[in-house]
Amino acid sequence: MESGMFRRRLGETNHIDGINNSHANGDTEEGSYKAKTFKKYRYPKRFIILVFLVVMIIAANYMGIIGISSKLEYMLKLSDSVIKRRLVTTGAVAADNLECSQIGRDILLRHGSAVDAAIATLLCCHNIHPHSSGIGGSSIIIIYDPKENKTVVINAKAVSPAKGTHEVRMNITAVGPLSIGIPGEIMGYWEAHQRYGKLPWKELFAPSIAMLEKGVGMTKDGVKSAEFVKLRLSERSNETLEDAYPELCEIFCHENGEVRQEGEIIHRLTYLQTLRKIAKYGADYLYSGEGAELLISDLQKQGSILTLDDLKNYQPLIMESLKQQIADGIVLHTTADHSGGILLAFILKTLQGYNITRESFSAANEVKTYHLLTEIFKFSSTIYHSVGDARFTKDMDKTLKTYYSENFIQSVHNFIDPTKTQDAELYNKFVSDSFGQGRDEGTTHVSVLGPDGDAVSITSSINHYYGSLIYSKRTGIILNNAMNSFFVDGLYNLMEPGKIPASGSAPSILFKNGDVVLVIGSSGGDRISSTLAMVVMELFSLNKTLTEAVRAKRYYHDWLTTSLVHESDFPEHIINQLRDNYGHVVIPRRNLISAVQAIYKDPTIGKIIAHSDERKQGKACLVKQTVLPDSIL
């Protein structure tokens, strides 16, 4: 019998079908163009087909091929199948923008792979949300290949340059030229496409190139992020964006330094040329060709320590996924090593021991349950500051496996006091003695489930909003500030040449009895793992629909302030009791905590549901195709 943590009812009533439900996630344009065309002209089509069938029957009768009764029976059967031809959902794309989800859907409808769709979708996301992601950043990808029946991780995260040392890290401010890591985004796409792509590389770029040719409107999130950057610069260093980073402000600001407003069209012509050349020449253009020379020249003029050799030597890591059984029949596949996947595995494994059900969130029990969740989140944030690139730390692999082992989970259960929280230092001593500084804001996630059963979960990041704020004028690329994610103190996550900093990214694929049941991921840095754990809990433990699970109110534990940070509209009575009765420090968050993109496939009936987080104006698309009844085949 499955534990309460992962009992799941059959089907969901609140589904996204893109045609029949105009209120679900706003995905009113999810059906394929072919599907809509079929509906519009179905009667002429049927008439033509019937005439054709009659002609064929007469010809067959004349030639004595089949008997008259068989002919009539077959004709009626085939004509009836045309009338009953129906649309079925065969896949989905979930991104933080409807147009980008549609681009991914169209790639799948052209028989592209899930990897093809993910790349095309993210290139669009980079256009729409340049404050969150871009080809000057990095990504981590988990791919399910149904032919091989295995998952593979492609780690294309930003890497410390050859001159990147701990001494350099001590001089890195949150942004600026020294904060730039070697970008891995395009090389990660290239590696994934070489292995799993179906459509030509250049075709994946065509929709985003067409979009850039017209210009792209400034989004609400883009405006808010730029205003946030201006405020942070003013508060931290008494600088203005236009004075400190004029190249970037030239794109996103007016001449007076004011941020462009929502809907204003931005033309990034230099970036357009760069994208065209990457589409034509492949990743080499940006890593060893003319694009690399232009990029490095621009960056070094602004004080970066990146070199041409750094770009030429960059290679994504091909890794095994972390596999963790978190309930009967449910197996989590996520990213390992220095990513948030370890934290997600830890949280879900720890939750399993509490047998969370709907009763856990009844009026009598809900505050106690939220207290237990908060305590688990405290441990996960402590673990986050105790991991690092296993290639640089002896026995790190063994240490990481310890964090989701039965013995460690049991010791956490024993440590947690169900009646009150404890001093922050006790959690730190329980796990490690390291402290960190970095956190992510500029992140985007895309989830894809293909008609062939392949799946991709990919999280892309430039780290902070607008990354390092460094803009390459001759390539149009906004660079990451990933080196800020190295810690200034501690044991494991210290800056070294060629090292990957710790990351909260946790792209994941969940399986039930061997079949894909959930493709999920989120933006939000060190808040990602707790967010994903809450969605998984809502979905499987509380039998919520995917839409309800993604929309549920969120909070997380912030290690630096040792506080419970919650969305402003989180139920007040719960927050008050957590503070007054359990001793938690609680703080409302003014900015976005996280944004989830998820696809659920019902393991019993095969129904596919997709949902993108409205917190970032996300909208998903389903892949719909016309099929004939099995009886006619």
443 is catalytic: yes
Residue 265 lies in a domain: yes
490 sits in the region (left: phi over 0; alpha: psi -120 to 50; else beta) called left
**Average pLDDT in the chain:** 87
Residues 78, 104 within the same domain: no
**Separation of alpha carbons 244 and 420, rounded Å:** 46
| Active-site residue (options: 350, 369, 443, 547) | 443
Q: Confirm or deny that 225 is annotated as ligand binding.
A: no
> Percent of the chain, pLDDT > 70?
84
- The stretch 166-188 carries a mean pLDDT of 95
Q: Which domain holds residue 37?
A: 33-84
Highest mean pLDDT among 332-346, 467-481, 614-628: 467-481
Q: Which two tokens stand for residue 114?
A: 């899930």
Residue 354 lies in a domain: no
Strands (E), 188-316: 216-217, 265-266
| pLDDT for 397 | 79
Residues 110, 166 within the same domain: yes
| pLDDT for 442 | 78
Integer angstrom CA distances of residue 198 from 57, 140, 182 = 40, 20, 28
Residues 111, 217 within the same domain: yes
Residues 100, 240 within the same domain: yes
Residues 56, 170 within the same domain: no
Listed range (35-49, 194-208, 524-538, 556-570) with the worst mean pLDDT: 35-49
Q: Name the strand (E) or helix (H) holding 624.
A: strand 619-627
- The stretch 194-198 carries a mean pLDDT of 99
| pLDDT for 59 | 59
Domain count, the chain: 2
Per residue in 459-501, pLDDT (tens digit) is 999 999 999 999 999 999 999 999 999 988 877 899 999 999 9
Per residue in 79-92, pLDDT (tens digit) is 555 556 678 999 99
> Could you tell me if 623 and 544 are in contact, meaning their C-beta atoms sit under 8 angstroms apart?
no
**Separation of alpha carbons 532 and 591, rounded Å:** 18
Beta pairing class for 477-478 and 471-472:
antiparallel
Listed range (114-123, 396-405, 499-508) with the worst mean pLDDT: 396-405
| pLDDT for 50 | 58
Tell me the residue type at 196. Y
Model confidence at 132, pLDDT cuts 50, 70, 90, reads very high
Residues 175, 273 within the same domain: yes
Listed range (72-86, 162-176, 215-229) with the worst mean pLDDT: 72-86
Residues 249, 224 within the same domain: yes
Residue 102 lies in a domain: yes
Residues 52, 172 within the same domain: no
**Separation of alpha carbons 501 and 437, rounded Å:** 11
Per residue in 30-72, pLDDT (tens digit) is 333 333 333 333 445 556 665 666 666 565 555 554 455 555 5
Residues 112, 220 within the same domain: yes
Per residue in 508-547, pLDDT (tens digit) is 999 999 999 999 999 998 899 999 999 999 999 999 999 9
- The stretch 558-580 carries a mean pLDDT of 93
Total-model pTM: 0.87
Per residue in 262-280, pLDDT (tens digit) is 999 999 999 999 999 999 9
Q: Which two tokens stand for residue 601?
A: 């496939």
CB atoms within 10 A of CB 574: 18
Residues 177, 244 within the same domain: yes
Whether residue 390 is predicted with pLDDT greater than 60 in this model: the reply is: yes
- The stretch 192-216 carries a mean pLDDT of 99
Residues 79, 105 within the same domain: no
Q: Confirm or deny that 462 is annotated as ligand binding.
A: yes
Residue 76 lies in a domain: yes
> Could you tell me if 121 and 457 are in contact, meaning their C-beta atoms sit under 8 angstroms apart?
no
Residue 541 lies in a domain: no
The more confidently predicted of residues 422 and 404 is 422
Final residue in a domain of this structure, among 43, 61, 84: 84
Residue 446 lies in a domain: no
> Could you tell me if 472 and 298 are in contact, meaning their C-beta atoms sit under 8 angstroms apart?
yes
- The stretch 583-594 carries a mean pLDDT of 92
Residue 194 lies in a domain: yes
> Could you tell me if 437 and 488 are in contact, meaning their C-beta atoms sit under 8 angstroms apart?
yes
The more confidently predicted of residues 71 and 209 is 209
Model confidence at 7, pLDDT cuts 50, 70, 90, reads very low
Residue 577 lies in a domain: no
Q: Confirm or deny that 461 is annotated as ligand binding.
A: yes
Residues 221, 101 within the same domain: yes
